Amino acid sequence: MITPILLCGGSGTRLWPLSRKSYPKQFAKLMGDESLFQASAKRLSGEGFTAPMVLTGDPFRFIVTEQLAAIEQAASAIMIEPEGRNTAPAILAAALFLEAKDPEALMLVAPSDHVIPDEAAFRAAVQAAVPRAQGGELITFGISPDRPETGYGYLELAEGAGPQAAEPQKLARFVEKPDAARATEMLAAGNFLWNAGIFLFTAATIRAAYEKYTPDLVKGVRAALDGAQTDLGFTRLAPEPWAGIEDISVDYAIMEKADNLAVMPYSAGWSDLGGWDAVWLESGPDAEGNVAADRATAIGCSDTLLRSESERLQVVGIGLKDIIVVAMDDAVLVAHKSEAQRVKEAVSALKAKGASQAVQLPRDYRPWGWYESLVIGTRFQVKRIVVHPGAALSLQSHHHRSEHWIVVEGTAKVTVDETVKLVTENQSVYIPLGAVHRMENPGKVPMVLIEVQTGTYFGEDDIIRYEDVYARS
């Protein structure tokens, strides 16, 4: 059996404004009705696979469980990284965790934000690589290139290796992301593959490679795992030893040094959706080269991507060529398709200006549901709050604001100091400043309410929590 190791801690800034630090691209519905994370979990499930192990950050732990539950899956383990330290420490933590149970456990390490349309072909490629992985090799997956792409790293095959082979091949070396001229040369040479960042090996094999090439990393990760704590089913790596671990990718730490490495060629379609130009390509442009989402209209356009992520906003493009437009309630991206990789610069510029749009979506996802601000004034704020069935907010109070709650869908169980009562549709309740309060959804359908806050300060740090079923501080 193969244990999928799903890495989902990245921020995906190249797909801003849809992907942001508060809700990165792996959890967004970029390509259809499922998130990229859900599609990855389904792709690596079924016969031959165990339940996945997920590595993520604390803000996303309940998003992971919620999205897995929505596709009727559950993780075998969810490991919480105290902070992002790149792929090498994360993969090692998973390996040590699995090796303690079964040294020969097969690990398929995969980012959770890739698109692989032909699931059957990918599973077949994985199975073809299993014997070599069980024999002690580190298997990396290489994608047959179909264009001179400058956004990917490359894998150069050894002399005599087959780029279309149906079994792992000998690898000569890793190649950094090239410029356009070099990428064109490598495509023409025919012996280069894109580096997919997907790996297959046993827990014991990869642990031995870490001990050989990065013993200090092993020491730090083992300490973080030994000091890990479990709450609500999550495994939290110890923050102090984790903070001292080197921030390094598995390619630099292990793969570029290992002498037991092989590459499994794969040619049935793949994309890491590393920019809006990739989304345009994978979305299947029409005869004019346009991709227009449901709330978008293209008139006299060509080779253009038009998307609106807002139910209240229509995007119309007229006479555009090679343009990307992505609109949300609080931000709009307009870029030439050839400049798609520069979106990260835009995020950095917004951060420098102190713009919240750089990292925060209008909709803020929480373990119990989500909320969004509808109106913000100098002494008031209006929010829409959605609470999942059976979920509850923390028991809390505020120093700087009072609140009115108006239930518009479902039923709320409301606690205000010593009073507990049910509030149904079209009913409201007042929460005085300083009152200890909580809202719960005792029903079977989502509960929606409108919250009107009045006061002098509305920041989320004006929350004093007394009890919280989600173990937040």
Average pLDDT over residues 132-139: 96
Residue 471: band (very low, low, confident or very high) from pLDDT cuts 50, 70, 90: confident
Average pLDDT over residues 232-257: 94
Degrees to nearest 5, angle at CA 261 with 260 and 262: 125
DSSP string, 138-204: EEEEEEPPSS--SSS-EEEEPTT--TT-SS-EEEEEEEPPP-HHHHHHHHHHS-EEEEEEEEEEEHH
pLDDT at site 32? 84
> Do the strands 419-423 and 369-376 form a parallel or antiparallel pair, or are they unpaired?
unpaired
The rounded distance, in Å, linking the Cα atoms of 381 and 453 is 5
Q: Per-residue pLDDT for 11 more than 80? A: no
pLDDT at site 369? 94
Residue 185: band (very low, low, confident or very high) from pLDDT cuts 50, 70, 90: very high
Average pLDDT over residues 56-71: 93
Q: Per-residue pLDDT for 125 more than 70? A: yes
Q: How far is CA 61 from the centre of its chain?
A: 11
Degrees to nearest 5, angle at CA 161 with 155 and 164: 80
Closest CA to 126 of 166, 77, 73, 172: 166
Q: How far is CA 293 from the centre of its chain?
A: 22
pLDDT at site 112? 94
Q: What percent of the chain has pLDDT over 90?
A: 86
Task: Decide: pTM greater than 0.85.
Answer: yes
Q: Give the phi and the psi of residue 119 in degrees, each rounded to 5.
A: -65, -40
Average pLDDT over residues 168-191: 91
Residue 23 pairs in a beta bridge with 20
The rounded distance, in Å, linking the Cα atoms of 98 and 119 is 25
If phi > 0 it is left, if psi is from -120 to 50 it is alpha, else beta; for residue 360 that is beta
pLDDT at site 154? 93
Task: Say which residues have a Cβ less than 8 Å from residue 296's Cβ, sequence separation at least 6.
Answer: 306, 307, 308, 314, 315, 316, 317, 325
> Do the strands 323-327 and 332-336 form a parallel or antiparallel pair, or are they unpaired?
antiparallel
Residue 449: band (very low, low, confident or very high) from pLDDT cuts 50, 70, 90: very high
Q: Which domains does the chain have, with CATH numbers?
A: 2-266 (3.90.550.10), 276-353 (no CATH), 363-467 (2.60.120.10)
Residue for token digits 């801003």? Answer: 16
DSSP string, 284-343: ---TTS-EE-TTEEEES-BS-EEEE--TT--EEEES-BSEEEEE-SS-EEEEEGGGGGGH
> Do the strands 229-231 and 234-236 form a parallel or antiparallel pair, or are they unpaired?
antiparallel
Q: What integer best gives the mean pLDDT of the chain?
A: 94
Average pLDDT over residues 139-164: 91
C-alpha count within 13 angstroms, C-beta hemisphere, residue 432: 5
Terminal-residue alpha carbon distance, the chain: 38
pLDDT at site 110? 96
Q: How far is CA 110 from the centre of its chain?
A: 12
Q: Give the phi and the psi of residue 15 in degrees, each rounded to 5.
A: -110, 25
C-alpha count within 13 angstroms, C-beta hemisphere, residue 402: 6
Helix (H) or strand (E) segment spanning residue 345: helix 343-353
Residue 459: band (very low, low, confident or very high) from pLDDT cuts 50, 70, 90: confident
Q: Per-residue pLDDT for 231 more than 90? A: no
The residue among 52 and 162 whose pLDDT is bigger is 52
pLDDT of 77-113, one tens digit each? 999 999 999 999 999 999 999 999 999 999 999 999 9
pLDDT at site 473? 61
pLDDT of 356-384, one tens digit each? 999 999 889 899 999 999 999 999 999 99
Helix (H) or strand (E) segment spanning residue 363: strand 363-366
Closest CA to 141 of 261, 56, 10: 261
pLDDT of 280-339, one tens digit each? 999 999 999 999 988 999 999 999 999 999 989 999 999 999 999 999 999 999 999 999
